[in-house]
Amino acid sequence: MHQTIQTLAPEVIAQIAAGEVIQRPVNAVKELLDNALDAGATQVAITVKDGGKKLLTIQDNGHGVQAEDLHLLCKRHATSKLQKYEDLTGISTLGFRGEALASISCMAHLSVVTRHTASAAGLKASYRNTALEAPGPVTCAAQPGTTFVIEDLYYNLEQRRKALGSAAEEYSRILDLVGKYAVSRPEVAFSCKKQGERRADLHTISGASRRDNVRAVYGAAAAQSLLPLVCRVPAEDESLSVSKDQETELSFSAEGFVSCLHFTGRRTISLIKINGHLVQCRPLEHSLEAFYHSHARLKPFVFLDIQLPGDQVDVNVHPTKHEVIMLHQEEITQALCDALQHLHSGQLQCSCSHAISARA
Ligand code: ADP
Ligand code: MG
């Protein structure tokens, strides 16, 4: 059958785009966590009902939204974080596309209560299909910060709703994500619980150490097994001799923790942060995993905080911003694998091996 070419209606375009950004409840949680962190929050509390399909609330104590910005909050491509394309190089916020709230408002009932730092009272507003719903923002009592409430996710997308996993599966994805954020950002207190439960399934306190948060999220054995890994290219003494025209050459630093060779988890856990973004970098993760696999098939815990010059990483390659592209990816992977090899071939003792010998 021959069809003529037609331009899609704006609502259809919005639905398609929304579906790419928010593929399941955990993607909505990620976007709202990023927003909370971008707003400078030091406390973020997540409540989940029915795996996030029925209800998700994310409460933060960040700077809040100003009254005059509320009509634009869920407009597509409306953002306070980016003005021109060039700003993307070296961007320090986690968000920048002004798409998340727009997308969520197209596939759920979205409301917000926010109190800006400069304001004595809160405001409540609801959104549908990117627009502020009548009667517009109303004044209410509120703590400083912002709470988003997402209800009935995919109420208008039956296929998507059916394709989701059980409530338990979707909840465990959310817990997994919040755990990664807690380890990645120990200066922020995170909690995550099911609605109606008193006890949080995950709870960290602001200012805990990264190792404390590994213990809280992944257990004592993982926390005790950690060895610090540091890798800088060029090494500090070499960097003094780098001339101007060599500046585009390989240059990065990585700091983090990796498990020792006495530890094996039930599964590999790798948390890779590149210029502040928690991302998946499969080639790097596979190489690190392969190193441990070659040692009695260990399943490691790896946390790496990698810093690259802003022009050597592209954070804008995936709708969910899950993946990034690094220039010099192979060299960076090789340097990190060398550092890992060096660390484990050294005489460094981990508290885990002490613990084992103490028990023996
Ligand atoms: P982006 O994060 O890419 O800017 P979003 O759709 O996620 O796009 O958010 C749109 C805008 O709403 C943000 O730029 C920010 O100004 C505001 N915003 C969203 N969440 C919060 C929050 N928790 N606290 C304060 N402002 C927020
Ligand atoms: Mg955002």
Predicted pLDDT at 358: 36
Q: Do 103 and 26 share a domain, yes or no?
A: yes
Could you say which of 216, 235, 253 is where a domain stops? 216
Predicted pLDDT at 164: 92
Confirm if 153 and 28 have CB atoms less than 8 A apart.
yes
Q: Do 71 and 194 share a domain, yes or no?
A: yes
pLDDT tens track for 294-345: 988 889 999 999 998 887 887 666 656 677 778 888 999 999 999 999 988 8
**Span from the CA of 39 to the centroid of ligand 2 (angstroms):** 10
CATH label of the domain that carries residue 104: 3.30.565.10
* Ligand 1 contacts CB of residue 256 (under 6 A): no
Tell me if 272 is assigned to some domain: yes
Predicted pLDDT at 136: 87
Tell me if 61 is assigned to some domain: yes
What one-character-per-residue DSSP string does 98-112 give? S-HHHHHHHHSEEEE
CATH label of the domain that carries residue 250: 3.30.230.10
Interface ipTM = 0.98
* Ligand 1 contacts CB of residue 50 (under 6 A): no
What one-character-per-residue DSSP string does 255-313 give? EEEEE-TT---SS-EEEEEETTEEEB-HHHHHHHHHHHHTTTT---EEEEEEE--GGGE
Q: Do 61 and 200 share a domain, yes or no?
A: yes
Tell me if 3 is assigned to some domain: no
pLDDT tens track for 160-212: 888 899 999 999 999 999 999 999 999 999 999 999 999 999 999 988 999 99
**Span from the CA of 198 to the centroid of ligand 1 (angstroms):** 29
Of all protein residues, the one whose alpha carbon is nearest to atom 13 of ligand 1 is 79
Tell me if 211 is assigned to some domain: yes
**Span from the CA of 81 to the centroid of ligand 1 (angstroms):** 8
Q: Do 150 and 293 share a domain, yes or no?
A: no
- Residue 105: how many CA atoms within 13 Å on its side-chain side? 24
Q: Do 162 and 212 share a domain, yes or no?
A: yes
Tell me if 225 is assigned to some domain: yes
The SS3 of residue 67 is: helix
Tell me if 4 is assigned to some domain: no
Tell me if 62 is assigned to some domain: yes
User: Domain range for residue 329?
Assistant: 219-359
Q: Do 350 and 239 share a domain, yes or no?
A: yes
Q: Do 259 and 174 share a domain, yes or no?
A: no
Strand segments, DSSP code E, in the chain are 43-49, 55-60, 109-115, 122-128, 131-132, 138-140, 145-151, 189-194, 202-203, 226-233, 252-259, 269-274, 277-279, 301-307, 313-314, 325-326
Q: Do 158 and 69 share a domain, yes or no?
A: yes
Mean pLDDT by 10 residues, the chain (360 residues): 81 74 91 95 98 98 95 84 69 76 94 96 95 93 96 90 94 97 96 96 93 95 94 73 56 93 91 90 91 90 92 70 79 92 74 47
pTM of the predicted model as reported, rounded to 2 decimal places: 0.89
Instruction: Give the C-alpha distances (Å, rounded to integers) separating 192 from 34, 187, 204, 217.
Output: 15, 16, 10, 11
Joined tokens for residue 318: 């995936």
Could you say which of 216, 231, 261 is where a domain stops? 216
Q: Atom of ligand 1 at shortest distance to CA of 58?
A: 23
**Span from the CA of 273 to the centroid of ligand 1 (angstroms):** 21
Q: Do 339 and 297 share a domain, yes or no?
A: yes
Q: Do 17 and 134 share a domain, yes or no?
A: yes
Q: Do 91 and 210 share a domain, yes or no?
A: yes
CA distance 155 to 171: 18
**Span from the CA of 79 to the centroid of ligand 1 (angstroms):** 6
> To the nearest 5 percent, what fractions of the chain are helix, strand and coil?
35, 25, 40
Of all protein residues, the one whose alpha carbon is nearest to atom 1 of ligand 1 is 98
Confirm if 40 and 185 have CB atoms less than 8 A apart.
no
* Ligand 1 contacts CB of residue 43 (under 6 A): no
Work out the mean pLDDT of the chain and round it to a whole number. 87
- Count of domains in the chain? 2
Tell me if 137 is assigned to some domain: yes
Predicted pLDDT at 348: 53
Could you say which of 155, 181, 216 is where a domain stops? 216
